[in-house]
Structure 1
Amino acid sequence: MSTRPSLARRRLLLGGLGGLAALAAGPAAFRAMAQAQGLRTATRAGLAFGTTVSLTLVHADAAVIEAALHDGFAAIRAVEAAGSLYRPDSALARLNRDGRLADPDPLLAEMLRFALDLAAASGGAFDPTVQPLWTLWAETAARGERPSRTALAETLGRVGWRAVALSEAGIRLRPGTALTLNGLLQGYAADRVMAALRARGIAHAFVDTGEFGAQGAHADGAPWRLGLAGPRRGDPLAAVIAPFTGFAATSGDDATAFSADRRDHHIFDPATGTSPRALSAVTVTAPSGLLADALSTAAFVLGEAAGAALVARYPGCAARFTPKVA
């Protein structure tokens, strides 16, 4: 599964594309249509999870928008504090350092519980304990090398989701185990943000936490649209989801590569410690960001046939597979 370590932003999904009518009419007409409905739009961007994030909200009341933006970014910070490896003070970082955590952050416990359930459901294709593999590959790649068979075998001995004990009393890891929740963290953040916006009465929003979520429509009534970029920079759009509501996430080989041909990259098969070779990307749409994000990772590891079968087990989910390209 993916550790998503790179600060480089993934570009497999391009969010916030304007509605077809609005694009044809131009910005002035877009504003006029929105004003006629008494609605206004506000977008705010920031940094989180090692990338850029942004929220676009539609509402008639500027004060409601401002309060919702505040709450949306607070939700992002809460998810970071629970499970981000970019923050050395996060609950997950402390768990990895100490090997145990009493009375864990409820958000961390919820994410980890889901991760372990999906690990079981996917036959281990999704595994939150692959963090030692990231460390191994990053260190050897920095020397211009690939891991030796001995090093890979030793590291695989510390990978396995059954090494995690999660209970009401806390979380305990087997010695040598380390966790990453980056395979679902940004999707989960999209869920938490959308819940915070709904609590403020926001019915129309586009959320970009590194994964995407949308509800309602643009201020002029045009639907949200989500563009799926090709697997390599400079590629034209592969497809456009319109209307886009719900959540979408992509796992791909484009974020961090350990080899020039992208055969070795940041998504690991927990059974082998190497990168799956059949696909360049998997995009999953789902009723929740958590499902979309985690299933895209699991399906990438499993490959198209088994990955599609796994995704089909979850109501309201669908997957798009991009074969490996140079």
Structure 2
Amino acid sequence: MRSHLRPVRRRILLGAAGLAASTALGGIAAFHALASRRGLATRTRAGLAFGTVAALTVAGPDEPALEAALSNGFSAIRAVEAAASLLRPDSALSRLNREGQLDAPPADLTAMLAFALDLAMRTEGAFDPTVQPLWPLWSEASARGEKPEAAALRAVLARIGWCRVHLTPERIALEPGTALTLNGLIQGYAADRVMAALRARGIEHAFIDTGEFGAQGTHADGTPWRLGIADPRRTETLAAVLAPFTGFAATSGDDQMCFSPDRADHHIFDPATGRSPRDLASVTVTAETGLVADGLSTACMVLGEARGREVVAGFPGCSTRFTGKA
């Protein structure tokens, strides 16, 4: 696969004291020292998840509780992967795509799919979990240095449409030729599940990165968390800082995985055309849940700024940042 197909991580965590102060005080050691002054221990654990690196940071007075919370957090991530990761051929979603139906689907899968179908209805199909067949079509063409032929694209588009999915708590069924992806919201949903697991262990201060972000409580020095959003065209430069940052944030953009060096063709597809939307470079959404933030950021890339703002307004507690193509 060509190098421009590699995913790019482009968001930066900033503690409330700022990078310069943290560096001057010794980075991680400073973080622990600041927490210790408040009578808190800190723990961070990282691991591979969803094809990237997930990292969970927690703080609290009880060190064993922190370790147990981190273990529970990663267990939640593994449960979400087992339900809907397309990187796992044994996931429930992978089996559904192969077999066309799935009895007794896991609760994580039905929760994500129910939201995806509702968002598809609200956006009149701009967000559509049935775009999965476009992925191999574009990947294979890109590997040849080409774009899909018009006839091949039309054939795949005939298999796309969220109404081709039939969901009940007991069973999911797909119409022939249909395949699903929940990549447009799975990392945000995982952030929700992790945060719930941490709260169940009594954790008050946490920052989680599952590919999308969540935060509660405060930074080690007692001031609010801040989240830096990198410029999609200059990934070492901050385009904005969310301060204070609590709740959840998700970013979708044309720089995360591309099928062409100019980023005109990328991993977000307009279900109506089978091609990538052309107006926006990135969208960041903050919301009360990671599921909503992640799904809306994906949808807004397709909807564009004007229509995207209208849809986001239907979800309470959300804010949106749009970045146009350079």
Q: Which amino acid aligns with 1:18?
A: G
Aligned to 1:217: 218
What SS does structure 1 have at the residue aligned with 2:54? strand
Aligned to 2:115: 114
What SS does structure 2 have at the residue aligned with 1:129? helix
Q: Which amino acid aligns with 1:19?
A: A
Q: Deviations over 1:243-264 (max 9, x none)?
A: 1100000000012211121111
Is residue 195 of structure 1 aligned with residue 196 of structure 2?
yes
Aligned to 1:301: 302
Equivalence map 1:1-326=2 (5 Å): 8-11=7-10, 13-15=11-13, 17-20=14-17, 23-24=20-21, 26-27=25-26, 31-325=32-326
Q: Which amino acid aligns with 1:66?
A: E
Q: Which amino acid aligns with 2:145?
A: G
RMSD: 1.6
Cα deviation, residue 34, structure 1: 2.2
Q: Deviations over 1:5-42 (max 9, x none)?
A: 9653431x222x11127853724665444222210111
Runs of at least 5 residues in structure 2 that lack an aligned partner in the other structure: none
| TM-score normalised by length of structure 2 | 0.94
Bigger mean CA deviation after superposition, 240-249 or 256-265: 256-265
Could you say if the C-alpha distance between residues 203 and 269 of structure 1 is closer, same or farther in structure 2, counting changes exceeding 3 Å?
same
| TM-score normalised by length of structure 1 | 0.94
Cα deviation, residue 234, structure 1: 4.1
What SS does structure 1 have at the residue aligned with 2:206? strand
Could you say if the C-alpha distance between residues 253 and 22 of structure 1 is closer, same or farther in structure 2, counting changes exceeding 3 Å?
closer
Bigger mean CA deviation after superposition, 285-294 or 37-46: 37-46
Q: Which amino acid aligns with 1:247?
A: F
Q: Percent identity?
A: 65
Distance 1:139 1:19 in 2: 44
Cα deviation, residue 302, structure 1: 0.3
Q: Which amino acid aligns with 2:149?
A: S
Indicate conservation of the 8 Å contact 1:40/1:219, yes or no.
Answer: no
Indicate conservation of the 8 Å contact 1:51/1:210, yes or no.
Answer: yes
Distance 2:18 2:252 in 1: 31
What SS does structure 2 have at the residue aligned with 1:264? coil
Q: Which amino acid aligns with 1:96?
A: N
Count of aligned pairs between the two proteins: 319
Runs of at least 5 residues in structure 1 that lack an aligned partner in the other structure: none
